Amino acid sequence: MAISVHNSTRTAALALVVVLVACCCDRRPAGDDENGIPYARISREFVCGRAEAQLRYPNATELTPIAREETFSASARCGAVMSTPDDQQLVYDWYTKQLQDRGYKFTGVGSGGPNVFNLHFQNGKSCRELASIAVDSPRALLANGVITSVPKGAKTIFEYDYSIVPSNQQPECRTPRPVERPPPTTFPLTETTTTR
C-alpha cells in the first residue's frame, strides 16, 4: 500500500510540474495579431466562428462535424465530413475558387489516412490560417467510425478543414503554386454500406 501511495504522489507531482512548465513556456503576447487572430490559445468557438470555417459546398449533407480547440501542440480546427451527389472535381473547384477569392494560396497536395487526395491552402495575409479539401475513402471512414453509413445518392464523400496554427508555432509562409488537378477517384457508394 505504501508503494502505491508513493507512486500516486510522485505521479501527481510530475503532472503538476508538466502543467507548470507548459504554462511558463507558453508565453504569448496579449491581444490579437494584425489579422485579428488572438495570440492566446484559440477556442473552438473562435475558429468555428470564422467565415472560412463556415464554407459548405452547395448540395452537401454534413455527416460528421469537425471542431477542436487549440491544444499545446495542435491547431484549432473546424469543418466537416460531407457528402454530395456531385462529382468530386466540382467540389474541388468550388472550394478552390471560394478560398482563392478570400486571398488563400494553393500550397500543395497530400494524401493519407482516409484522404485520397488533399488540396492545401494558406491565407496569403496570415500564414497561421490553413484550409484543406480532401476526397475521402468511404470504406476508411466507415472502418474508423467517422461515419456510420453512406447516404443514398452520394457520389462524393469529402472533408473540408479550416485551421489556425498556434501563435507559438508560427508556420513559414509557403510559396504559392499552380493548383493541381486531382486524379479522378471512384468509390462504390451505396446506402447499404455500413459498419453495423
Q: In the prediction, which pLDDT does 51 show?
A: 94
In a domain, 132, yes or no: yes
The number of distinct structural domains making up the chain is: 1
Q: In the prediction, which pLDDT does 194 show?
A: 41
In a domain, 11, yes or no: no
In a domain, 56, yes or no: yes
Q: In the prediction, which pLDDT does 103 show?
A: 94
Q: Which residues of the chain have pLDDT under 50?
A: 1-2, 13, 15-24, 26, 188-196
Q: In the prediction, which pLDDT does 172 show?
A: 77
What is the extent of the structural domain holding 56?
Answer: 39-169
Q: In the prediction, which pLDDT does 31 show?
A: 85
In a domain, 6, yes or no: no
In a domain, 118, yes or no: yes
Helix H, strand E, coil C: the string for the chain is CHHHHHHHHHHHHHHHHHHHHHHHHCCCCCCECCCCCECCCCCHHHHHHCHHHHCCCCCCEEEEEEEECCCCCCCEEEEEEEEECCCHHHHHHHHHHHHHHCCEEEEEEEEECCEEEEEEEEECCCCCEEEEEEEECHHHHHHCCCCCECCCCCCEEEEEEEEECCHHHCCCCCCCCCCCCCCCCCCCCCCCCECC
- pTM tops 0.85, yes or no: no
In a domain, 97, yes or no: yes
In a domain, 29, yes or no: no
Q: In the prediction, which pLDDT does 65 show?
A: 94
Q: In the prediction, which pLDDT does 113 show?
A: 64
In a domain, 158, yes or no: yes
